[in-house]
């Protein structure tokens, strides 16, 4: 699958060393691998894999709503609820004794075994060669899914920063406190961190945290479209400050 990356930035960063990135934060689900990697689990559960997108959208909707009301609900909890709803709606009597938690475990296992998008490994190598620390910030599980998928695809050694997830600050992305927590763990100012994600709302949330930057909607303007992230990162040689700034000077959006 050809992955289209959209990098956002502003030209002033080319001439301002203080804006050149020191770290990259990667989203996981939908960014490193497609959410559709849950297909084997849905098939085992007797659910049409075409329901994955709808299920995930419902999970995000309810999790965001709970967070807005001041209540944190982890992915495994909200995901389990909506899987149970779908199983009941589909009349899957053979799964009548299966809890949503058990169903969610199957989905998490499928994601953990997912193959990365083909351009991800080379992109990570280029970032490492450019001395840019790579970390993870996921709405899922850092110790579970993120750790397993990076290790299983043999790229864990390229992710030298911490593996972070929303259970640590108890705040979903795109809420600001999630990104603020990540920036604090990295020990780098927000202006020196590049966020890479497949979701426009994730990028909008990250841009809220950057000093003097405000996103009024989930639409990100000023995008540069790049067909292959590994190719775009291949120019990031050590100390190539202007090239680094051009690729990652601010938040980045990745779409499949």
Distances (CA, A) of 133 to 23, 108, 118, 124, 195: 5, 27, 21, 10, 12
Mean pLDDT of the chain: 79
Q: What is the pLDDT of residues 53-95, one digit of tens each?
A: 999 999 999 999 999 999 999 999 999 999 999 998 888 665 6
Q: What is the pLDDT of residues 86-99, one digit of tens each?
A: 998 888 665 656 78
Domain harbouring 24, CATH code: 3.40.50.1000
Domain boundary among 112, 127, 159: 112
Which band of pLDDT confidence, cut at 50, 70 and 90, is reported for residue 50? very high
Q: Which residues pair with 193 in a beta bridge?
A: 23
Q: What is the pLDDT of residue 125?
A: 92
Say whether both 96 and 192 belong to one domain: no
Say whether both 107 and 202 belong to one domain: no
The CA-CA-CA angle for residues 117, 73, 75, to 5°, reads 20
Say whether both 76 and 172 belong to one domain: no
Q: What is the pLDDT of residues 29-43, one digit of tens each?
A: 999 999 999 999 999
Distances (CA, A) of 21 to 13, 29, 125, 138: 10, 23, 16, 20
Q: What is the mean pLDDT of residues 179-190?
A: 93
Say whether both 159 and 247 belong to one domain: yes
Q: What is the pLDDT of residues 241-253, one digit of tens each?
A: 333 333 443 344 3
Q: Using CA atoms, how far apart are residues 48 and 110, in angstroms rounded to an integer?
A: 15
Say whether both 167 and 219 belong to one domain: yes
Tokens of 146: 């993120």
Q: Is the pLDDT of residue 207 over 90?
A: no
Q: What is the pLDDT of residue 94?
A: 57
Q: What is the pLDDT of residue 233?
A: 53
Distances (CA, A) of 179 to 7, 24, 104, 188, 220: 18, 12, 26, 12, 17
Q: Using CA atoms, how far apart are residues 140 and 124, in angstroms rounded to an integer?
A: 20
Q: What is the pLDDT of residue 39?
A: 98
Q: What is the pLDDT of residue 20?
A: 66
Q: Which of 125, 132, 145, 126 is nearest to 32 (CA)?
A: 145
**pTM recorded for the entire structure:** 0.80
Which band of pLDDT confidence, cut at 50, 70 and 90, is reported for residue 7? very low
Q: Is the pLDDT of residue 219 over 50?
A: no
Say whether both 100 and 182 belong to one domain: no
Q: Is the pLDDT of residue 46 over 80?
A: yes
Q: Using CA atoms, how far apart are residues 104 and 241, in angstroms rounded to an integer?
A: 44
Q: Are 176 and 208 in contact (CB under 8 A)?
A: yes
Which band of pLDDT confidence, cut at 50, 70 and 90, is reported for residue 194? confident
- Pairing assessment for the beta strands 4-8 and 23-26 based on DSSP bridges: unpaired
Distances (CA, A) of 247 to 11, 26, 96, 219: 11, 14, 50, 19
Q: Is the pLDDT of residue 172 over 60?
A: yes
Q: Is the pLDDT of residue 225 over 50?
A: no
Q: Using CA atoms, how far apart are residues 114 and 46, in angstroms rounded to an integer?
A: 20
Tokens of 237: 């040689």
- What is the total count of domains within the chain? 2
Domain ranges, residue 210: 4-34+117-255
Helix (H) or strand (E) holding 10: none
pLDDT: which is higher, 187 or 16: 187
């Amino acid at each position: 699958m050809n992955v289209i990356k959209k990098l956002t930035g502003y030209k002033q960063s080319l001439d301002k060393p203080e804006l050149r990135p020191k770290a990259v934060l990667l989203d996981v689900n939908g960014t490193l691998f497609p959410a559709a990697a849950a297909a084997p689990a849905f098939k085992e559960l007797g659910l049409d894999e075409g329901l994955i997108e709808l299920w995930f959208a419902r999970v995000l909707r309810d999790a965001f709503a709970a967070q807005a009301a001041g209540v944190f609900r982890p992915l495994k909890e909200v995901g389990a609820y909506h899987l149970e709803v779908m199983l009941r709606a589909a009349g899957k009597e053979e799964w009548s004794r299966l809890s949503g938690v058990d169903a969610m475990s199957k989905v998490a296992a499928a994601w953990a075994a997912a193959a990365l998008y083909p351009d991800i490994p080379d992109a990570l190598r280029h970032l490492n060669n450019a001395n840019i620390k790579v970390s993870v910030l996921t709405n899922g599980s850092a110790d579970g899914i993120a750790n397993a998928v990076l290790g299983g695809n043999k790229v864990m050694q390229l992710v030298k920063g911490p593996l972070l997830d929303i259970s640590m600050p108890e705040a979903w992305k795109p809420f600001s406190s999630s990104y603020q927590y990540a920036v604090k763990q990295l020990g780098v100012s927000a202006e020196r961190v590049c966020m890479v994600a497949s979701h426009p709302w994730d990028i909008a949330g990250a841009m809220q945290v950057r000093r003097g930057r405000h996103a009024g909607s989930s639409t990100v303007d000023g995008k540069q479209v790049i067909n292959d992230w590994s190719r775009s990162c291949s120019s990031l040689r050590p100390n190539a400050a202007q090239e680094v700034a051009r690729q990652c000077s601010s938040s980045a959006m990745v779409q499949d």
